[in-house]
Amino acid sequence: MELLTNRYRNLSVLALAVVGQLLLLGYQVRSRQDVRLVRVWAVTALTETSSALAAAGGAVGSLYRNYVWLVGVRQENERLSKELADLKLEAQRLRADLGTADRAQALTLFQSRSASRTIAARIIGAGTVTDSRVVFLDVGANQGVADGMGVITPDGLVGRVRAAYPTTAQVVLLTDPSFAAGVISQKHHVQGALKGNGSALCRVDYVHNEEKLDQGEWFFTSGDDRLFPRGLPVGVAEVVQKGKALKDILVSPSGLRNGLEEVLVVLEPVHQPVPDAKEPPPELRLLPLPPDEMTVKEPPAGSRPAGAGTDADGLLERYRRIGEAQGHVYGQGAPGSRPPDFNIAPANSPATPAKPPATPPANGPDVTPLQ
């Protein structure tokens, strides 16, 4: 024993260390069990150490990068500022595109639901005279636009085509002093002449003091001027005052409320009745139209007899008969030619529709849907 501890001490310790580890190894292999505790301790200790080292290294590195190594920071800052400015411009452009897409979608929906035949147009320019309210459209005579045609948006009347050129058309807005149109109020059916005022509001002339008219009442086109079809929303009476003999009425045009970018030119106008001003009971909350009725579905050909179908189809059929009775072909008349008389009832006409249009303008007049 003394020999082992003194003379062969090193070899004895070596043998002990190796045999001990061999036994540990053999135990693990034989029992297929790991010495989990040792591993957990080792891994935990090393992980904590490395985390602390990594944190310290990260702090030192961050200090170095943020306060010492600043080569090229100025150039990078300038580059990033330029990129930021470009991205802001891009974001602004994309927002504008998104708004344009929304308006175009609303316009398309309104166009598909309108009884009148219309063509969509984009406003590409304004008039040169300061106080005139004139714009230019990107459609013209080549697309069927003619002088005197009405220009509308889903929100209401916009103006009238003053001059149609081959590729563009000049439109007088209804706020221009030279503009005039026949209008009728929704609730009391008061008729008058809408005239531009050169400002944001239009006035309605020729309404006597004795006639009843409420403030906030809607005006629609009356169709009497034979320029605009009946039933187009015009605006809300903002000011109603008694004058000397005639009322002083100022109307806020609904068609210009949301700005103008895209409009519809009415190629073939179709009169529609002015919707009734029935107010829903206050305790009732109207639901929006079901999804199926929000979209216009084309029936299969031959599935519906002529003259039947929606009110708009009835009106369309009525005006087709009027045109045939008077020998008028829609879309063929020269600019300024006499339009057919829509007030003459055609022979053998189907039942006249008396229902309001299905699409009131946004924030539009009071109508009772789903009648």
Partner 1 sequence: MNQYSDLLRAGEQRARSGLRFQIATLIVFPIAAVLFQVYVPLAFPYVGYLELPLLATVYFALKQREPIQSLLYGAGTGLLEDALSHHPLGMFGIVKTLVGYFAASVGVRFDVDNPLVRFTLTFFFYFFHQFLHWVLARALLGELRGFSVQQSLFLGLMNSIVAVPLFHVLDRLVSRGYKASLLR
Binding site for partner 1 (CB under 8 A): 9-10, 13-14, 17-18, 21-22, 24-26, 28-29, 34-35, 38-39, 41-43, 46, 49-50, 53
Tokens linked to 138: 């990107």
CA torsion angle for 140, 145, 146, 152 (degrees, to 10)?
A: -110
Sign of torsion over alpha carbons 229, 231, 232, 235: positive
Specify the residue, 21 or 209, whose C-beta has the smaller distance to partner 1: 21
Position 340, amino acid: P
Specify the residue, 13 or 345, whose C-beta has the smaller distance to partner 1: 13
Specify the residue, 1 or 29, whose C-beta has the smaller distance to partner 1: 29
Task: Provide the minimum distance between the beta carbon of 87 and partner 1 in the complex, in angstroms, as a whole number.
Answer: 33
What's the rounded Cα separation, in Å, for the pair 198 and 325? 41
Task: Provide the minimum distance between the beta carbon of 10 and partner 1 in the complex, in angstroms, as a whole number.
Answer: 4
Task: Provide the minimum distance between the beta carbon of 18 and partner 1 in the complex, in angstroms, as a whole number.
Answer: 6
Q: Which residues of 305-323 are buried (b: 16+ CB within 10 A; e: fewer)?
A: eeeeebbbbbbbbbbebbb
What's the rounded Cα separation, in Å, for the pair 201 and 9? 112
Tokens linked to 296: 């216009």
Task: Provide the minimum distance between the beta carbon of 1 and partner 1 in the complex, in angstroms, as a whole number.
Answer: 18
- On whether the CB atoms of residues 110 and 152 are closer than 8 A, the answer is no
Tokens linked to 362: 């946004």
Specify the residue, 44 or 199, whose C-beta has the smaller distance to partner 1: 44
Residues 6+ away with beta carbon under 8 Å from 154 = 106, 107, 109, 110, 359, 361, 362
Specify the residue, 39 or 93, whose C-beta has the smaller distance to partner 1: 39
Specify the residue, 45 or 73, whose C-beta has the smaller distance to partner 1: 45
Task: Provide the minimum distance between the beta carbon of 92 and partner 1 in the complex, in angstroms, as a whole number.
Answer: 42
Task: Provide the minimum distance between the beta carbon of 39 and partner 1 in the complex, in angstroms, as a whole number.
Answer: 5
Task: Provide the minimum distance between the beta carbon of 8 and partner 1 in the complex, in angstroms, as a whole number.
Answer: 11
- On whether the CB atoms of residues 146 and 164 are closer than 8 A, the answer is yes
Specify the residue, 23 or 308, whose C-beta has the smaller distance to partner 1: 23
